[in-house]
């Protein structure tokens, strides 16, 4: 949510930002908020004036009654009652204005960074840097499910019977590798100074509204029937929610947390074969990082966070690149975002394995996350980034460490978490 002062003082900037995001249908909303805000301030001013008059007249009643001027006091009581009725009407009008203003403000996108490339969708995202050497195989890389089945590492048929499509059983050394990646990622981030946290896996509706746009919620979130609770789509949701309605002293910032959680997503729509299997699924596990910081430090933390993801993939012998999201691909709360994509030898292209986002104060305004700095209080900046999200990143790990006989080399960094094993052999 942006500051309404931006609309009061520079609504052309807000409109231009909406155009950059190719959301022209929202342009009339800016004028609507601008006009409603003027009306609402006028209503509030009238209400404040009437409250002062009511208080003054109420004081007069006591004086008149003490002086035995009952008739005069009764007349003023009638005036006071009229003021009270008018005040109620004005408060109702103010409440309606505020409700509509808030409804609109929740849909107006955050102001994007000047450096964000302008484009309509993810096809216009811009490659920034490439890291690592791609493997040079003399053999054809099989579909990732074939690799997993050859290693006796997955059971999709049983999962379909138990839960339906979009679920899986990971088995044996593959299940162990999956856990090893998460544990290694946890330790990697702790070594970088992040505090480890296991958050709630369900959050209330007001937290959902604070961390994402309405469109994202409908496309992603599973709601618990009969409860004001949603299963998290990423631990970032409950991690940022941890700071809801809090005021943190500046001496306690930054708050840099890394978290483990299962994640649950609807993943609506049909997808091609490469996005089936364990790439686009309803349930997965994830190591995440979030930062709550002073506004002057969010750009620095943004760079540190995406670099941490690149670094962990480099230690796992997985080539990656960074891709800057264009304006049309940015979710409404994001100021800027950088995707980390891993190389797929099978597809001979990169695919997304993580995303780093700076949301400036957009989430903080929705959730009431503030900083106490001496006598001042102001909104914090929030950021989030994926460390690793297996089993999707397992696809990249398997393909980039594959041997011709179907076995998979275990990257050296993961071997202590795999009982010293250096390879997963064909079953």
Label residues 8-25 b or e (16+ Cβ within 10 Å = b): eeeeeebbebbebbebee
Residue 110 located in a structural domain: no
Of residues 54 and 21, more confidently modeled:
21
The residue among 252, 247, 394, 396 whose CA lies nearest residue 318 is: 396
Residue 355 phi/psi, 5-degree rounding, is -145, 130
Residue 264: band (very low, low, confident or very high) from pLDDT cuts 50, 70, 90: very high
pLDDT average, residue stretch 47-67: 86
Provide mean pLDDT across the span 179-200: 97
| Contact criterion met (CB below 8 Å) for 176 and 379 | no
CATH number, domain of 67, equals: 1.10.287.40
**371-416 pLDDT per residue, tens:** 999 999 999 999 999 999 988 899 999 999 999 999 999 999 999 9
How far from 299 is each of 21, 62, 135, 312, 356, CA to CA, in Å?
21, 61, 34, 21, 12
Confidence of residue 271 (pLDDT cuts 50, 70, 90): very low
DSSP-derived secondary structure letter, 271: -
Same domain, 203 and 290: yes
**Three-state secondary structure call for residue 163:** coil
Residue 68's pLDDT is 82
For residue 117, tell me if it sits in a domain.
Answer: no
Q: Among all chains, which residue has been given the structure tokens 């995406």?
A: 306
Q: Which domain holds residue 37?
A: 4-105
- What is the sign, positive or negative, of the torsion defined by CA atoms of 293, 297, 302, 307? negative
Residues 261 and 207 grouped into a single domain: yes
Q: Are residues 153 and 210 in the same domain?
A: yes
Cβ-contact 137, 348 below 8 angstroms: no
Among residues 291, 193, 309, which one has the least CA distance to residue 239?
Answer: 291
pLDDT tens-digit series, residues 323-350: 999 999 999 999 999 999 999 999 999 9
Whether residue 187 sits in one domain with residue 334: yes
Going by pLDDT thresholds of 50, 70 and 90, the confidence category of residue 180 is very high
CA distance 286 to 182: 7
Q: Is the N-terminal amide bond of 393 cis, ω within 30° of 0? A: no
Residue 191 pLDDT class (50, 70, 90 cuts):
very high
Q: Determine contact, residues 325/104, Cβ cutoff 8 Å.
A: no
Same domain, 260 and 404: yes
Torsion angle (degrees, nearest 10) of CA 80, 85, 90, 92: 140
- What is the SS3 assignment for 160? helix
What is the per-residue pLDDT for 4? 95
What's the rounded mean pLDDT across residues 25-29?
97
Chain centroid, CA 373 distance in Å: 26
Structure-model confidence comparison of residues 391 and 29, the more confident one: 29
Decide: 426 and 398 in contact? Cβ < 8 Å.
no
CATH number of domain containing 205 = 3.30.930.10
Residues 80 and 185 in one domain: no
pLDDT at residue 322 is higher than 80? yes
Nearest by Cα to 186 from 292, 307, 322, 289: 289
Q: Nearest 10 degrees: CA dihedral of 71, 76, 80, 86?
A: 110
According to DSSP, residue 273 is labeled G
Final residue of a domain: which of 54, 71, 105? 105
Residue 193 lies in a domain: yes
Q: What are phi and psi of 265, to 5 degrees?
A: -140, 145
Closest listed residue to residue 359, CA positions, set 213, 190, 200: 213
Shared domain for 144 and 282, answered yes or no, is yes
Looking at the structure, tell me whether residues 89 and 201 fall in a common domain.
Answer: no
Q: What is the DSSP string of 177-233?
A: HHHHHHHHHHHHHHHTTPEEE---SEE-HHHHHHHS-HHHHHHHPEEPTTSS-EE-S
Mean confidence (pLDDT) of the chain? 93
Residue 270 pLDDT: 43
Shared domain for 228 and 370, answered yes or no, is yes
Task: Answer yes or no: are the C-beta atoms of 110 and 362 closer than 8 Å.
Answer: yes
Average pLDDT over residues 304-313: 97
Domain presence at residue 116: no
Q: Total structural domains in the chain?
A: 2
> H-helix or E-strand containing 126?
strand 126-131
* Shared-domain flag, residues 381 and 268: yes
Pick from 292, 305, 80: nearest CA to 188: 305
Cβ within 8 Å of residue 60, ≥6 positions away: 73, 76
Per the DSSP assignment, residues forming a β-bridge with 9 are none
pLDDT value at 213 more than 80: no
Same domain, 101 and 128: no
Which pLDDT band holds residue 83 (cuts at 50, 70, 90)? Answer: confident
Say what the pLDDT of residue 276 is: 60
Helices 4-20 and 27-66, interaxial angle, to 10°? 170
Residues 95 and 145 in one domain: no
Buried b vs exposed e over 88-101: b needs ≥16 C-beta within 10 Å? eebeebbeebeeeb
Question: Averaged over 312-320, what is the pLDDT?
Answer: 95
Q: In this predicted model, which residue has the larger pLDDT, 270 or 137? A: 137
Question: How far is the C-alpha of 345 from the C-alpha of 161, rounded, in Å?
Answer: 32
Residue 62 lies inside a defined structural domain of this protein: yes
Instruction: Report residue 281: phi and psi, to 5°.
Output: -135, 170
Is 305 within a domain? Answer: yes
% residues pLDDT > 90 (the chain): 82
Query: 391 in a domain, yes or no?
Result: yes
Q: Is residue 113 situated within a structural domain? A: no
């Amino acid at each position: 949510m942006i500051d309404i002062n931006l609309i009061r003082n520079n609504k052309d900037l807000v409109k231009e930002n909406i155009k950059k995001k190719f959301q022209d249908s929202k342009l009339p909303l800016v004028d609507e908020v601008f006009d409603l805000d003027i009306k609402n301030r006028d209503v509030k001013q009238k209400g404040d004036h009437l409250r002062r008059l009511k208080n003054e007249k109420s004081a007069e009643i006591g004086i008149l009654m003490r002086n035995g001027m009952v008739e005069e006091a009764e007349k003023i009581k009638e005036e006071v009652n009229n003021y009270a009725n008018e005040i109620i009407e004005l408060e109702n009008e103010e409440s309606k204005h505020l409700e509509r203003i808030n409804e609109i403000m929740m849909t107006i996108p955050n102001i994007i960074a000047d450096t964000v490339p302008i484009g309509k969708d993810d096809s216009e995202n811009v490659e920034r840097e490439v890291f690592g050497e791609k493997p040079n195989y003399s053999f054809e890389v099989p579909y990732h499910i074939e690799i997993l089945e050859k290693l006796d590492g997955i059971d999709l048929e049983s999962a379909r019977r138990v839960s339906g499509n979009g679920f899986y059983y990971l088995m044996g050394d593959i299940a162990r590798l999956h856990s090893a990646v998460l544990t290694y990622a946890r330790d990697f981030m702790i070594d970088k100074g992040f505090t480890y946290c296991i958050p709630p896996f369900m959050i209330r509706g007001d937290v959902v509204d604070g961390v994402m746009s309405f469109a994202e919620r409908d496309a992603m979130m599973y709601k618990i029937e009969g409860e004001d609770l949603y299963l998290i789509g990423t631990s970032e949701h409950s991690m940022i929610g941890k700071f809801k309605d809090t005021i943190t002293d500046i001496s306690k910032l930054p708050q840099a947390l890394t978290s483990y959680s299962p994640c649950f997503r609807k993943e609506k729509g049909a997808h091609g074969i490469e996005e089936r299997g364990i790439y686009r699924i309803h349930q997965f596990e994830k190591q995440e990082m979030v930062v709550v910081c002073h506004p002057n430090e969010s750009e620095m933390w943004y760079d540190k966070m995406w670099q941490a993801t690149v670094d962990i993939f480099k230690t796992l012998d997985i080539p990656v690149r960074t891709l800057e999201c264009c304006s049309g691909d940015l979710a409404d709360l994001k100021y800027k975002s950088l995707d980390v994509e891993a190389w797929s030898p099978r597809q001979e292209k990169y695919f997304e394995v993580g995303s780093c986002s700076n949301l400036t104060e957009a989430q903080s305004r929705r959730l009431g996350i503030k900083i106490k700095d001496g006598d001042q209080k102001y909104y914090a900046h929030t950021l989030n980034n994926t460390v690793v999200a297996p089993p999707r990143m397992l696809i990249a790990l398997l393909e980039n460490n594959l041997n011709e006989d179907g076995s998979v080399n275990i990257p050296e960094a993961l071997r202590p978490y795999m009982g010293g094993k250096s390879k997963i052999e064909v079953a």
